[in-house]
Amino acid sequence: MTIGEDGGAPSEEPNQNEDAGTAFSSSGDGENGATLGKLDPSFYLVGVGASAGGLDAIKSLLSEIPDDWPHSLVIVQHLAPDYKSLMRELLQRETPLKVKEVEQGMEVEPRHIYLIPPKSNIIIQGTSANAMTAVQDVEERSDAPMKFELLSQPLRHQLNLPIDLFFHSLAEAVGDRAVAIILSGAGSDGSRGLMTVKDVGGFVLAQQPETAEFTGMPTAAIQSGGVDLIAPAAELAGELNRYFKARSGHIDLDDIFSSEVDEDLINSILSTVSKHTQVNYTCYKMPTLRRRIARRMVLGEHDGLQPYLDRLQADPDECLKLGREFLVGVTSFFRDMPAWDALREKAFGRLFASGPEDQPLKVWSVGCSTGEEAYTIACMLDMYRETRGIKRDFRVFATDLNAASIEFARHAIYPSSVLADVPAEFRGRMFRFMSEGVSVSPEIRKRVIVAPHDATQHPPYIGTDLIICRNTLIYLSTSEHNRLVDNFSYSLNEGGVLFLGLSESADRGTVHFSTLNKRFRIYVNDFPQRRPTASAVRSGKYFVPMAGGEGRGGSTGAVSRASQDLKDLSFVDQILRVSSTCAIVVDANNRVIKTVGEYRRVLNLPDSGFSDNLSELLPHPLNTVVNQGLRSNAATNGDGWHTKIPFEIDNESLSLNIHIRAMGNSMGAHAQSIIAIRFEPLSFSSGDEAGYSEHEKSSEREGKLEAELRITRQALETSISELADSNEELQTTNEELMATNEELQATNEEMQSVNEELYAINAEFTEKINELEAANADIDNLLANASVHAVFVDARMCVRRFSEHSNTLFALTPNDVGRPLRHFSSRLKSSDHSKLLDAIDASIGWTYDAQQVGIDRPAPRPGNQFQCEDIAGNFYIARIDAYGDASGRARGVMVSFVDVTEQKHLRDELEDNNQVLEGVLEAQMAGYWDWNIPDNTEYLSPAFKKMFGYEDHEVENTPEAWQELIHPEDLPGVLETFDAHVKSHGEIPYDNEVRYRHKDGSIVWVWCRGAVVEWTEEGDPVRMVGCHVDITSLKEREEQVKKDAEEIRRFTFIAAHDLREPLTTNDNYINMLNDHLSEQADEFTTRMMDTIRQGNQRMRKLIIGILEFGSLFNDQQEFGAVELKSVFTEAERMLENKFKENGA
């Protein structure tokens, strides 16, 4: 096409394309009906395609992504459908981003890495599930986030291209924010999808093939022409960050797209690029060109149009890159199949019936890009004529201005991934398998003529029956669009068909065309344009075919230069037409460079092929004369040659006055000769007769030559007849070999796909093996350094593995692996050895019995742990545990031995000490307890239980057991004391005197004292120990003492009361006597009276002492400090007489 594209419109142009169905087997019909979710501008969604060798490339990419990266990746790989991928756990170690396997309806979030699950393909929910359709403009988005949708993969024998599918969906979902990366892999998956990303203005990167383990996918991506940047995988992350920064940073795209931008700068840019690419871009839509310019500015980090113009003027390579941006081609075989079906139904019949059988149907594919569209129409026409027995042949002229695309189309070799685009009924007819991919079959290829041609600059072809021009006019300005539609009408025969497809329109050309199918824009040329439009006339050329079939071709540059030299000859054309003359300029190879005047009267398109060779364009009689004249002119060094011949044109007899002369430099270096032919009425003159005489002589010589040729031809016909039979046999053999080759190629394709999957699996297995080797080394070190005695046995009790330390019990060597454990003796005592083997056998049976009822990881068998003793008196704890594989299925048991000899001796000693302690406690009527607080288990000694009349087995060893025995009134106080002890971290003692209920119903008083002896780091109690002492007898004696004390208190009170009365009487008498004798008393009497009075006082104190003695048993008695010196002095005074009496 004119812009070198055959794809959908860019994002700023409306696209009316519709889904043509899905090439993939999905859970739905390819259109899920859901509305596309909203676009989150805070992060980019990057699609990554990889296959064989992709694991290392992905790890290299992730290793360079910074920890604070806000974006997300979707990694699409070729996975075997029956293989559980280890990719998630392998990649999670390489990145802080969260790695997830995509699930149906999963939301798209930032800072994630999404992986394709086995047996599924991924698209964005709300986008097309068909990578063959054009990208749709997003008209409506929901407020919900974007989500993934899973599609089931096609059958194994069908081609699956998950990377192409996701890239297409990504481009439709996010538009020019799409980013696609192609990493290592075989095949070409991704090369079509990235072109869709490129077409919407996205960013495409590829791993440098030299750094990839498999170069197929990166190479195919680069050859597609859609890759913006090529670098090693480790450098792609940095390029992504640079691109994201540029898009969000210093370049104001709105300024570039505004109408106020400096048009001179834009025109200068276009002029600079045109100078290097020899393509005129001024006829294309300016918004499209501006968007492509802005995109290159972003990638180059240019902050304005002037700096970018300076870059273009200094860097021809950047000019070529920008030119490729303008000429992006997106095409595929059978693109929009419903449109092709409509063309076949509406137009094929009338086209084949529009002309005689010996005149081939002529098709012009405008803007063919890499040829897929041209070969598509050729294949459909070939099948149509064969199935209906139509004899009329056809030719397809495929043109494009992109030289690289034309060269690709000429080779007609495509990656095998294109088979996904081709319906099954066309594949065998259209392709032949080869090592590089698939090639167009010779039957189709020979009917397609590929040539460079710019429909906006070069003249249109004439005499065509069908023109196909899809997704080309939408890129052109309105005036250029209208001019091309008029030229298409000029090119088509009356009744010819113009096929534009969904995205184009010929509304401007309704004066020439009537509508055959409105939806797919199929028109009939009812009123052909009489002359080409001004642009073609201005260029000075009408019909200049550039190539003549396979291996033939011209140079657009040469034609352009010749056209430039002849651009001032338009007035000559008018003069020659008035004088019934034409002029034909040829080069040294007799190829037509220029025609003016009434050249159509003598030049015609050949019935087979398409050529610019003069001999193939002239009718036979005139061809002979002209060739003779060209040879004669060359022999005379260009002095000129002239003749006249009679000639019949359209049943009119004319005289052709032919002049041939050499050209000068004024016509260009490529122009060699000019042939002037004047069409005159047939008349005879003396001068003319001389000319005819010369002609007759030439005709006579030709007659002799023709006779000799007839004899030679008869001999050749005999040889040909003999060779025909051999050729038929060889043809049959060749067809059989080709069929076999196709089958082998198909098998090879499947094997290649399987090989890619196996390589990906092998890469993951290699990674896993490395991890297992490291884990195995860790286990060996653990077994060796931890002094663990371990033996692993399988379900048949055969040794699988053993630790080095197990040789202290079993004399095992590496050669013993695989032998039954029963065949080996051990250093265990005979009874313990037999017990061990029986326990192993029982544990294996226990494990496999559990699996029979669906329990993969059963609880350990009761009795799987026991103590055993070797012949040297060492003790071990033998433990038997099941071990399983990654799925949890049991594969045998592990027998481990822990040397507990020292612990056994300590335990025996402890048990002896415990027995002594229990004996002491029992003698003192005491019991002890040991409480494991987190486990809520508590050991209660037998003496503890016996204290309340129970045997050891009658009371459980739990806190609840003793709490049920304690008196209900005392339990709250016990718990309160425990809480206080714990909260104070042991500073407040745990000390209680509480009542328990005896088994016979009586009350037992217990003194309970304990302490927490083990705490956690957080300060929580772990273990508490204590003892219970039976103080019932003490409590009983205490009660008896209290009763006796009450009796004493009552006695002392009565005695004191009875003694106080006489004392009071004595005091009264003494006072009376003292009053009576106060004047008469001598010293002795006075002293005696004082003695009596002091005696009464001592007696009173004695009574007070008796009362105080009685109050000692009063709980309310208060005690205080006493001055002992005064006590002793008083006692000495009271006992003074006794001391004297006894001489003390």
Q: What is the pLDDT of residues 507-539, one digit of tens each?
A: 554 678 888 888 888 999 988 887 766 543 333
Query: Any idea what DSSP says for residue 54?
Result: H
AA letter at 1014: E
Q: How many CB atoms are closer than 10 A to CB 74?
A: 23
Per-residue burial over 488-507, b if 16 or more Cβ lie within 10 Å, else e, is bbbbbbeebbbbbbbbbbbe
Q: What is the pLDDT of residue 861?
A: 67
CB of 871 within 8 A of CB of 829?
yes
Same domain, 217 and 171: yes
Dihedrals phi, psi of 791, to nearest 5 degrees: -130, 125
Is 1049 within the bounds of a domain?
A: no
Same domain, 347 and 495: yes
Dihedral (Cα; 163, 169, 172, 176), 10-degree rounding:
-40
What's the pLDDT tens digit per position in 358-413?
889 999 999 888 889 999 999 999 999 999 999 999 999 999 888 778 888 888 88
- Domain boundary among the residues 683, 717, 742 is at 683
Q: Which residue has the higher pLDDT, 436 or 1012?
A: 1012
Is 263 within the bounds of a domain?
A: yes
Is 781 within the bounds of a domain?
A: no
Q: Which residue has the higher pLDDT, 868 or 723?
A: 868
AA letter at 14: P
Q: What is the rounded distance in angstroms from the CA atom of residue 464 to the CA atom of residue 222?
A: 36
Q: Which residue has the higher pLDDT, 716 or 20?
A: 716
> Looking at the 3D structure of the chain, how many domains does it have?
7
Q: How sure is the predictor about 344, in pLDDT bands with cuts at 50, 70 and 90? A: very high
Shortest CA distance to 302 belongs to which of 291, 314, 292, 310?
310
E strand or H helix at 616, and its extent?
A: helix 614-617
Residue the block writes with tokens 């019935």:
607
Dihedral (Cα; 286, 292, 298, 299), 10-degree rounding:
-160
Q: What is the pLDDT of residue 725?
A: 61
- Domain boundary among the residues 272, 307, 326 is at 326
Q: What is the pLDDT of residue 693?
A: 52
Same domain, 471 and 366: yes
Q: Is the pLDDT assigned to residue 853 strictly greater than 80?
A: no
Kindly tell me the burial class for residue 540, based on how many C-beta atoms sit within 10 Å of its own C-beta (0-12, 13-18, 19 or more). Answer: buried
CATH number at residue 52: 3.40.50.180
For 44, 293, 311, 319, 649, the CA distances from 251, given in Å and listed in that order, are 18, 12, 16, 20, 66
CB of 115 within 8 A of CB of 94?
no
Prediction pTM value: 0.47
Dihedrals phi, psi of 9, to nearest 5 degrees: -70, 155
Q: Region 229-244: what's the mean pLDDT? A: 87
Strands 394-400 and 448-452 turn out to be parallel
Same domain, 62 and 186: yes
Shortest CA distance to 679 belongs to which of 695, 655, 702, 660?
655
Q: Is the pLDDT assigned to residue 618 strictly greater than 50?
A: yes
Q: Which residue has the higher pLDDT, 586 or 715?
A: 586
For 139, 421, 554, 1042, the CA distances from 410, given in Å and listed in that order, are 39, 20, 13, 126
Half-sphere exposure (Cβ direction) of 1049: Cα atoms closer than 13 Å: 13
Q: What is the pLDDT of residue 537?
A: 33
Q: How many CB atoms are closer than 10 A to CB 956?
A: 14
Helices 54-63 and 686-785 meet at what angle, rounded to 10? 80
Q: Which of 394-403, 778-787, 818-827, 958-967 has the lowest mean pLDDT?
A: 778-787
Contacts 24+ apart (CB under 8 A), 173-176: 173/36, 173/39, 173/45, 173/124, 173/126, 173/127, 173/138, 173/146, 174/39, 174/44, 174/45, 174/202, 175/11, 175/138, 175/200, 175/201, 175/202, 176/11, 176/200, 176/201, 176/202, 176/295
Q: How sure is the predictor about 49, in pLDDT bands with cuts at 50, 70 and 90? A: very high
Kindly tell me the burial class for residue 387, based on how many C-beta atoms sit within 10 Å of its own C-beta (0-12, 13-18, 19 or more). Answer: exposed
Same domain, 261 and 346: no
Q: How sure is the predictor about 562, in pLDDT bands with cuts at 50, 70 and 90? A: very low
CATH number at residue 1017: 3.30.450.20
Is 779 within the bounds of a domain?
A: no
Greatest mean pLDDT among 283-292, 580-589, 723-732:
580-589
Q: Region 1004-1019: what's the mean pLDDT? A: 88
Q: Region 1105-1121: what's the mean pLDDT? A: 66
Q: What is the pLDDT of residue 73?
A: 93
CB of 837 within 8 A of CB of 822?
yes
Q: What is the pLDDT of residue 138?
A: 57
Contacts 24+ apart (CB under 8 A), 798-803: 800/892
CATH number at residue 420: 3.40.50.150
For 650, 676, 923, the CA distances from 654, given in Å and listed in that order, are 10, 15, 153
CB of 416 within 8 A of CB of 751?
no
AA letter at 1018: E
Q: Is the pLDDT assigned to residue 629 strictly greater than 90?
A: no
SS3 403: helix
For 480, 546, 566, 1004, the CA distances from 453, given in Å and listed in that order, are 16, 7, 19, 117
User: Token digits for 333?
Assistant: 């075989």
Same domain, 390 and 511: yes
Same domain, 236 and 269: no
What's the pLDDT tens digit per position in 1068-1101?
777 787 777 766 767 777 777 777 777 777 777 7
Greatest mean pLDDT among 398-412, 631-645, 919-933, 1071-1085:
398-412
Same domain, 279 and 232: no
* CA angle 420–425–427, rounded 5-degree value: 50
Same domain, 876 and 923: no
Kindly tell me the burial class for residue 541, based on how many C-beta atoms sit within 10 Å of its own C-beta (0-12, 13-18, 19 or more). Answer: buried
E strand or H helix at 395, and its extent?
A: strand 394-400
Shortest CA distance to 328 belongs to which of 413, 390, 402?
402
Q: What is the pLDDT of residue 380?
A: 93
Q: Which of 18-27, 63-72, 690-699, 872-881 has the lowest mean pLDDT?
A: 18-27
Same domain, 474 and 598: no
Q: What is the rounded distance in angstroms from the CA atom of residue 24 to the CA atom of residue 116?
A: 16
Per-residue burial over 633-657, b if 16 or more Cβ lie within 10 Å, else e, is beeeeeeebebbbebeeeeeebbbb
Q: What is the rounded distance in angstroms from the CA atom of residue 1114 to the CA atom of residue 305?
A: 111
DSSP lists the bridge partners of residue 342 as none
Three-state secondary structure string covering 1066-1080 = HHHHHHHHHHHCCCC
SS3 829: coil
Q: What is the rounded distance in angstroms from the CA atom of residue 961 to the CA atom of residue 405?
A: 92
Write the CB contacts of 158 (distance below 8 Å, at least 6 apart in sequence). Answer: 25
Is 716 within the bounds of a domain?
A: no
E strand or H helix at 1028, and its extent?
A: strand 1021-1030
AA letter at 330: V
SS3 717: helix
Q: What length is written for the chain?
A: 1144
AA letter at 486: D
E strand or H helix at 55, and its extent?
A: helix 54-63
H helix count then E strand count, the chain: 33, 34
Q: Is the pLDDT assigned to residue 47 strictly greater than 90?
A: yes
What's the pLDDT tens digit per position in 105-150?
899 999 999 999 888 889 998 887 665 555 555 556 778 888 999 9
Q: How sure is the predictor about 467, in pLDDT bands with cuts at 50, 70 and 90? A: very high
SS3 205: strand
Is 655 within the bounds of a domain?
A: yes
Q: What is the pLDDT of residue 856?
A: 57
AA letter at 708: E
Query: Any idea what DSSP says for residue 826?
Result: B
Q: What percent of the chain has pLDDT over 90?
A: 9
CB of 492 within 8 A of CB of 525?
yes
Q: What is the pLDDT of residue 466?
A: 95
User: Token digits for 834?
Assistant: 């037999």
- Domain boundary among the residues 228, 247, 266 is at 247
Query: Any idea what DSSP says for residue 827?
Result: S
Q: Which residue has the higher pLDDT, 1094 or 948?
A: 948
Residue 177 structural domain = 45-247
Same domain, 260 and 242: no
* CA angle 603–608–609, rounded 5-degree value: 85
Same domain, 930 and 1063: no
Q: How sure is the predictor about 921, in pLDDT bands with cuts at 50, 70 and 90? A: low
Is 1051 within the bounds of a domain?
A: no
Q: What is the rounded distance in angstroms from the CA atom of residue 376 to the CA atom of residue 219?
A: 25
Is 752 within the bounds of a domain?
A: no
Q: Region 923-928: what's the mean pLDDT? A: 66
DSSP lists the bridge partners of residue 655 as 646, 680
Residue the block writes with tokens 């070999």:
737
